[in-house]
Chains A and B, each alone.
Chain A
Amino acid sequence: MSDIIRRDPRTEWIARNRLHPLYESVINANAGEVRGPTGLLRKNPHKVGFIGPNGIKRIDRLKGNGQGAGAVGRGKSSANEPVLALHQIEAPDFYIMVAPDLVGGRLTSHDKDVLGLAHKLCRTYEADERDQGRSSQGAVVAVCFGEMKEESLDLAGVDRLIHLQNDVFEGFAPEARLEAVAQIEQMYQPKHWLFPDSIHGGADLGSRLSARLGERPAVQAWQVDTQNTVCRGASSSIDITRATPRILLLLEECGDAIDETRHEAKALDVDAVEVSAVNIVDHGLMDVDPNAIPLAEAEFILSAGNGIHNWEQFHDAAKALGATEGASRVAVDDGFMPRFRQVGATGTWVTARVYVAVGISGAIQHMQGIGQCDKVVAINTDSGCDMVKRAALSVIGDSEEILEELVKIVNAHKGQVSPEGETLEKGSEHAA
């Protein structure tokens, strides 16, 4: 198109005449930004809004977020949901290894922080190289053991994935895992090894690797860049500033989790790992009395609300399932459960992985307490209640009936598994 500005006398004429039937369309045709003589952005208040059906001018201040627009808007947004940019690496020049905890086969928030930090380090190294006129690209590698249920590895920032899924790595196998990471170390010579400094095994594996390589790690590190690391020491009473070592055991919130890019999560091969003589043999998890575990720590909670009428049966069900008992405030106020079992704003804030709410409506005070739970199961007669909206699985029906069936199934399962013994061990091995 030519750059010559052409005047259109007819539109100018219409634009001067506010009563012209085409006035609206001409004025709105090039409704770009208008700058005043001083360069300030000017809004034309006459152009804002539209005339409603009854002839009154309406201004939509919801910017398309309103109820009415919602139906249309939502359909549109799912169609062109912004796809996050894919961070691609053809041939990595260096690697940063991260060994996430994968509690229950999923990345914890701690793992995601560590992955985020790995990317931060990676970017700094790349920028340093660029300053010196070279180009190099690093890849963040997740070294995972055992079963994996995580589906969004790509969104958590995993460029490459080493997934070792052999029987020898299942359950508690620190020696086999050490052999594996030592071999990965030899094969790839990564720039850093990052471990979450956690009680889920990250600290243990990291310490083992450091001892094996004879390198001093930074432990309880919480502020890391490529030069310096700040760690907590002396039971968290001092900060130690030191040069960043190759092996880092990181505290929670050491970095920001990745949220604006997608990553490839491409598999990386490792040679078969040879595990020599094993000195530590795992015999699986022990049965502990679930009600002896503090409610805040319990992994599996069966919680009772006002919808429980047969308390005898509820306690039996909790016992059969091996679940820690919880309760809503109503159940506690009515005297069916002790006060320390209350879940919620004025009770305990629980962190269970699985929370089964039986006959609990899901008042906000109760929901606050279960904010950190992963999987919520609701058993309720009312399909419209808030608990059903929160739950991953909701079962609509009478609690008594369903608990009865559930106990039957569980008992049948136990009777079927226990005599063999073996299957029981297998299933339980990496439950923690």
Chain B
Amino acid sequence: MQPNVISLVSIGRHPQSGRARRSEQDGRALELGLKLSGSHLQVAHAGAYDSTFSGSAEETVLRQYAGMGLKQMTVLKQSSDADVIPSLSHYLESQSAQVVLLGVRAESGESSGMVPYLLAESLGWPIVSRVADIVSIENGEAEVLLALPRGQRRSVTVTLPFIATVDNAAPEPRQTAYGPGQRAQFNAVDTPEVLDELRINWVEAPAKPRPKRLKVIKAKTAAERFKAATAKAQGGSGKVMKNESAQEKAQAIFDLLIEEKVIR
């Protein structure tokens, strides 16, 4: 049985030029969705869909996603300052989705990364964040690899239906093809719209560079400051083993490695 997979995509933002683009993580979510259910994958985007849509930057980006091999795509009609959660959760419920894939953080807007969590809470589904791969889906359970810092992977199983956010460690999205992207159909769906009221009071400004933290040296005399600036490794703090047998020395190293949990 093919699992019912839905990938949600958003409009990305190129880090240098600031232009709209296919988002890195959403592209990976789509790629993972294609791997799981091929042509049965459903892709949805919540955003503006009105008279200005055709020819807009949004359309271009959505067609880039579509160019990864989609025949059609759903657009949930929302205005740009709406809260997308009610609309998305309504849509996911109506589609009886089993696996929902998103990026970890949007590249535009607040990019708080809260959308998947709020969806999970409103639907009552489990959520796993920072997925590197979904290995298999069987018997109402999915085996998922999570991406951890330092290139580590953790294996977990999650019961269906669930929400997953896709990490940058997931396989890269395929190249988009222009022609198929242009031929893809958009299905516009009317969904309930709720205004995001909190956000109206926020002030947005271009990011200021953050001040670098200075190394504060709390030295009272010049000699102490000189010492702090030129200090070499201090001796005497570590344990030194000299006269033990090689076996004992190796054992000591081994114990330390076990204690630090780097050897399993």
Distance of B174 from chain A, by nearest CB (Å): 22
Find out whether the CB atom of A203 lies under 8 angstroms from the CB atom of B113: yes
Interface string of A286-315 (1 = CB under 8 A from B): 101000111001111000000000000000
Find out whether the CB atom of A395 lies under 8 angstroms from the CB atom of B114: no
Closest to B124 in A: A279
Interface string of B113-154 (1 = CB under 8 A from A): 110011011000111111000000000000001101111111
Find out whether the CB atom of B153 lies under 8 angstroms from the CB atom of A293: no
Find out whether the CB atom of A104 lies under 8 angstroms from the CB atom of B253: no
CB neighbours (8 Å) of B127 from chain A are 208
Contact of B238 among A204, A356, A393, A404 (CB under 8 A): A393
Contact of A383 among B114, B198, B242 (CB under 8 A): B242
| Chain B binding surface SS class | mixed
Total B residues in contact with A, Cβ cutoff 8 Å: 80
Q: Does A243 contact B (CB under 8 A)?
A: yes
Q: Does A261 contact B (CB under 8 A)?
A: no
Q: Tell whether A211 pairs with B118 under 8 Å between CB atoms, given A242-B202, A431-B264.
A: yes
Find out whether the CB atom of B238 lies under 8 angstroms from the CB atom of A283: no
Find out whether the CB atom of B158 lies under 8 angstroms from the CB atom of A297: no
Which of A44-52, A155-163, A227-235 participates in binding chain B? A227-235
Find out whether the CB atom of A413 lies under 8 angstroms from the CB atom of B112: no
Q: Does A128 contact B (CB under 8 A)?
A: no
CB neighbours (8 Å) of A410 from chain B are 254, 263
Interface residues of B in 189-237 (CB under 8 A from A): 198, 201-208, 210, 213, 221, 223-224, 227, 232-237
Q: Does A244 contact B (CB under 8 A)?
A: no
Interface residues of A in 78-133 (CB under 8 A from B): 104
Contact of B252 among A208, A285, A393, A413 (CB under 8 A): A393
Closest to A353 in B: B260
Q: Does B26 contact A (CB under 8 A)?
A: no
Find out whether the CB atom of B263 lies under 8 angstroms from the CB atom of A413: yes
Distance of A344 from chain B, by nearest CB (Å): 15
Find out whether the CB atom of A239 lies under 8 angstroms from the CB atom of B150: no
Find out whether the CB atom of A240 lies under 8 angstroms from the CB atom of B151: no
CB neighbours (8 Å) of B154 from chain A are 172, 282-286, 432
CB neighbours (8 Å) of A403 from chain B are 250
CB neighbours (8 Å) of A200 from chain B are 149
Cα distance, A299 to B238, chains bound together (Å): 21
Find out whether the CB atom of A393 lies under 8 angstroms from the CB atom of B205: no
CB neighbours (8 Å) of A401 from chain B are 246
Distance of B264 from chain A, by nearest CB (Å): 4
Which of under 10, 10 to 19, 20 to 34, or 35 or more describes the interface residues of A?
35 or more
Contact of A240 among B110, B159, B234 (CB under 8 A): B110
Q: Does B58 contact A (CB under 8 A)?
A: no
| Chain A binding surface SS class | mixed
Q: Does A416 contact B (CB under 8 A)?
A: no
Distance of A75 from chain B, by nearest CB (Å): 15
Q: Does B13 contact A (CB under 8 A)?
A: yes
Q: Does A136 contact B (CB under 8 A)?
A: no
Interface string of A227-271 (1 = CB under 8 A from B): 000011111111111110000000001000000000000000000
Cα distance, A287 to B153, chains bound together (Å): 8
CB neighbours (8 Å) of B264 from chain A are 285, 322, 424, 427-428, 431
CB neighbours (8 Å) of B105 from chain A are 235
Contact of A237 among B15, B145, B159, B256 (CB under 8 A): B15
**Extra pairs beyond A237-B15, A282-B156 (4, CB < 8 Å):** A233-B204, A298-B151, A323-B262, A405-B246
List 26 contacting pairs A-B, 8 Å CB cutoff, sorted by A.
A65-B223, A172-B154, A214-B121, A233-B204, A239-B208, A240-B202, A240-B204, A281-B158, A282-B154, A282-B156, A285-B155, A286-B154, A286-B155, A288-B152, A300-B262, A354-B256, A354-B262, A386-B232, A388-B240, A389-B232, A393-B239, A396-B242, A431-B152, A431-B261, A431-B262, A432-B152
- Closest 10 A-B residue pairs measured CB to CB? A405-B250, A293-B151, A279-B126, A219-B112, A300-B262, A211-B121, A211-B117, A65-B223, A431-B261, A428-B264
B interface vs A, CB < 8 Å?
Answer: 13, 15, 18, 105-114, 117-118, 120-121, 125-130, 145-146, 148-159, 162, 198, 201-208, 210, 213, 221, 223-224, 227, 232-242, 246-247, 249-254, 256-258, 260-264
